[in-house]
Amino acid sequence: MKFSKRFSSVAKTIGRNVILPVWLTLRLFSYFRFGWLSKFLGLVGFATFLSPAFFRIAWFYYTDKRVKRDILYGSCPRNRLDLYLPAGCEYDHDEVEQRVRAHSSGSGSSSGGGG
């Protein structure tokens, strides 16, 4: 008699803690469609495939001394550019600033402005 009570108690515990959550999970999954899951996994795989190239470019951008960042070329705080210098070039801040201003001042004609 003790064995059957103990077995009954263990069976109820297993049913309550294992079988019921699994059954409810399967029931919940039956309401979802899994077409999005294959597309999502494809997107994750594609991003994983491309990430080494992106990490390489980001590492180069943030660690190389030849990349000059946030060069101000106008009076607005958002008028900034990043400049890549090839090997062997020297960086003169005043000369670069003058050239950038001269080049950016003549760009109005490409947007349809007369002149």
For the chain, state the CA radius of gyration. Answer: 32
DSSP summary character for residue 113? -
Q: Which amino acid is at 33?
A: R
Residue 69 gets the label, from left (phi > 0), alpha (psi -120 to 50) or beta, of beta
Q: What is the pLDDT of residue 106?
A: 47
**Higher per-residue confidence, 111 vs 55:** 55
Give CA–CA dist 52/56, Å, rounded.
6
Give CA–CA dist 56/82, Å, rounded.
18
Segment 57-108, tens digit of pLDDT: 999 888 888 888 888 877 888 888 888 888 887 777 667 666 666 655 544 5
pTM of the model: 0.44
The answer to whether residue 115 scores a pLDDT higher than 50 is no
Segment 16-67, tens digit of pLDDT: 778 888 888 888 877 777 777 788 889 999 999 999 999 999 998 888 888 8
Q: What is the pLDDT of residue 101?
A: 61
Q: What is the pLDDT of residue 105?
A: 52
Residue 97 exposed, middle or buried by CB count within 10 Å (0-12, 13-18, 19+): middle
3-state helix, strand, coil in the chain (%, to 5): 65, 10, 25
